[in-house]
A and B are shown apart, each in its own frame.
Chain A
């Protein structure tokens, strides 16, 4: 069983984003880049599965589509414990472009389980995982909050409205994961950081693919009106405001 974790590289979640070039480009000065939180958890779960010898996981690989500047993020994944990595040397143009590059780089590599996160915290697409599965012609399960291996089959928990489904899936499979997949992200130990330097990181050149979407410009959220405060001794006033002013209850 070979597992592949797709990782995206995003600004740290507390970043106050700013834009340059007439709001056409993210201002990257001072940004701390991290592995997308979901992908960190997927990687953690993949390594947990590998730790249990009974699962027969032979390798955990990571893949990322991004320019050379993103390599520290990939090295971090190797330091956490991935065995090897692939970087497709391209600027992600849109989700379709990224998924097409991933599919091209992966084909022929016989990964049994491919993990993607439910969304990248930058463009909030929730799209790359499903697109990749369709490009590869693999089944996919989305909203996955748990994954384990049982007799060569992948068993996943899928969150549905008001409940869960337990699904057994044939491999190869793309699982798009969300909350629950692992508890705490695994962190790199000193030994891992040392080893990461020598682990294989293959660079693949992109194939020609047209993006289907194009950014026009970013906008900042409109500032909200100032908060109206109600006397804590008289919360009834709040209920009245909600009824008569906001008209929502």
Chain B
């Protein structure tokens, strides 16, 4: 029995969420007193593969085939399912990001393995296998038992800490079957926005709502974000109005994020907004209305006008950082 961790790579590179996943899988393997195996698909330099070993993986498998040129949910599922069976995996762990959400449900059916989607903690017990997850968009949580022998889990991003534990992992490159003719989804074009910190990856997020009054007032938010190395976000009305791009909309119908620090500036804190940000470790709210619901979700708050408070905040950060 083993724990198999599917680790996505982005043009041959891993990122923080990859290491979170391996840390999680390795801890889970400890609960079973077994080995954690990290699996990635496609070309990755060995120096990059070695990095996965630092977080407790005992083995690292790189599945390759010259036919693999883009993502395909059916073929990726087949490759992962093949390794799950070959390695006698008791649990397969994936990220709860776009890729994981595309593969995990297919894998669950293919392996007839119960799926725990979006878990944020290790199982309370492994026999029975009890998982804990957010339900009703964060208004409640639930414990579920996964009843099957094989389990599939997707781990919520930024919910599990990195745990260093170098096991001198054995790295192997394995040629796998890839059914090019079976790829029924063809990628015609890829549009990338380069250079920006991704909202879903960011440790700090600065978000503005309708209380910012006009798109012309976003200057201090951008400056503040730049100083803190943060990503920018917004509430739904702000993106609906076209004040900010749609990629920035957070909430139930936008992106669901869990940064370490979320600044909600001129955001009232409607339940649908909180559904996307309530897993943030810290929330700071700036709002003129002392009764705004956002203050019930926040640990730190300033009751005041954003147009006056923000420039002072920017100044304070400049001072502290000596910029």
Q: Does A32 contact B (CB under 8 A)?
A: no
For window 179-218 of A, CB contacts with B under 8 Å fall at 179-180, 211-218
Contact among A96, A160, A211, A218 for B140, CB-based, below 8 A: A218
6 extra interface residue pairs, beta carbon distance < 8 Å, beyond A124-B135, A227-B295: A16-B139, A229-B303, A230-B300, A231-B302, A238-B284, A239-B316
A110 within 8 Å of B (CB atoms):
no
What separation, in Å, do the CA atoms of A51 and B319 have in the docked complex?
58
Q: In whole Å, how far is A201's beta carbon from the nearest beta carbon of chain B?
A: 27
Stretch among B22-30, B32-40, B185-193, B208-216 lining the A interface: B185-193
**Bound-complex Cα distance A169 to B186 (A):** 6
Do A227 and B145 have beta carbons less than 8 Å apart? Answer: no
CB of B249 within 8 A of chain A? yes
- Which of B73, B113, B296 touches A141 (beta carbons < 8 Å)? B73
Please name the 4 residue pairs, one residue from A and one from B, whose CB atoms are nearest each other, closest first.
A130-B105, A232-B304, A212-B114, A142-B102
Please, how many angstroms separate the alpha-carbon atoms of A4 and B96 in the complex? Answer: 26
- Cβ A213 vs Cβ B115 within 8 A: yes
Q: Using Cβ atoms and an 8 Å threshold, which residues of chain A touch B140? A: 17, 19, 218-221
A211 to B139, CA, bound (A): 25
CA distance A229 to B148 in the complex (A): 49
Contact in complex: A131, B109 (CB < 8 Å): yes
In the bound complex, what is the Cα–Cα distance between A199 and B103 (angstroms)?
36
B198 touches A216 (CB 8 A): no
- B274-290 contact mask (Cβ, 8 Å, vs A): 1 or 0: 01001001101100000
Q: For residue A184, give the distance in angstroms from its CB to the closest CB of chain B.
A: 9
Judge whether B301 and A142 touch: CB under 8 Å: no
B191 contacts which chain A residues (CB < 8 A)? Answer: 163-166
How far is it, in angstroms, between the C-alpha of A212 and the C-alpha of B114 when the chains are bound? 5
Q: Number of B residues whose C-beta is below 8 Å from A?
A: 94
B133 lies within 8 A of chain A by Cβ = yes
By beta carbon, the residue of chain A nearest B204 is A249
A155 to B185, CA, bound (A): 9
Partner of A218, one of B142, B246, B252: B142
Which chain B residue has the least Cβ–Cβ distance from A172? Answer: B184
Known: A130-B103, A134-B106, A213-B145. A124 touches B300 (CB 8 A): no
CB < 8 Å A-B pair total: 265
CB neighbours (8 Å) of A235 from chain B are 302, 309, 312-313, 316
Asked whether B303 lies within 8 Å of A131 as measured between CB atoms, the reply is: no
Contact between B193 and A179, CB atoms less than 8 A apart: no
Contact check, B298 vs A180: say whether CB atoms are below 8 A apart: no
**Complex Cα gap A239–B104 (Å):** 40
Judge if A168 is at the interface, Cβ distance under 8 Å: yes
The chain B residues found within 8 Å of chain A, CB to CB, are: 10, 70, 72-74, 77, 96-98, 101-106, 108-110, 112-118, 130, 133-148, 184-194, 196, 198, 200-201, 203-204, 228, 246, 249, 252-254, 260-261, 271-272, 275, 278, 281-282, 284-285, 295-305, 308-309, 312-313, 316-317, 319-320
Given known contacts A216-B130, A217-B142, A232-B302, A238 and B73 CB-to-CB distance under 8 angstroms? no
Which chain A residue shows the least CB distance to B255?
A179
Query: Quick check: is A81 within 8 A (CB to CB) of the other chain?
Result: no
A126 within 8 A of B: yes
- A224 in contact (CB, < 8 A): yes
Tell me the smallest distance from the CB of B94 to a CB of chain A, in Å.
12
Give the secondary structure class of B's interface: mixed
- In the assembled complex, how far is the CB of residue A223 from the closest CB belonging to chain B, in whole angstroms? 9
**In the complex, chain A residues whose CB is within 8 Å of the CB of B98:** 142-143, 158-161
Q: Are the CB atoms of A127 and B117 closer together than 8 Å?
A: yes
User: Could you tell me if A214 and B144 are in contact, using CB atoms closer than 8 angstroms?
Assistant: yes
12 contacts between A and B (CB under 8 A): A13-B252, A142-B102, A160-B190, A161-B198, A161-B200, A162-B194, A165-B190, A168-B188, A170-B184, A215-B142, A229-B302, A249-B261
A179 touching B254 in the complex, CB below 8 Å, given contacts A134-B105, A143-B98, A235-B313: yes
Inter-subunit contact B139/A221 (CB<8 Å): yes
Among the stretches A52-60, A67-75, A240-248, the one at the interface with B is A240-248
Q: Which residues of B sit under 8 angstroms from A141, Cβ to Cβ?
A: 73, 102, 185
Chain A residue nearest to B97 in the complex (CB): A161
Q: Evaluate contact between A143 and B302: CB separation under 8 angstroms.
A: no
Contact with B along A1-28 (1 / 0, CB 8 A): 0000000000101111101000000000
> Which one of A42-50, A82-90, A115-123 contacts B?
A115-123
Contacts of A162 in B (CB 8 A): 192-194, 196, 198
B interface footprint on A88-118 (CB within 8 Å = 1, 0 otherwise)? 0000001110010000000000000000001
In the complex where A17-B136, A242-B284 touch, is A212 in contact with B112 (Cβ < 8 A)?
yes
- B192: min CB distance to chain A, Å: 4
Contacts A99-B109, A160-B98; A224 near B141 (Cβ below 8 A): no
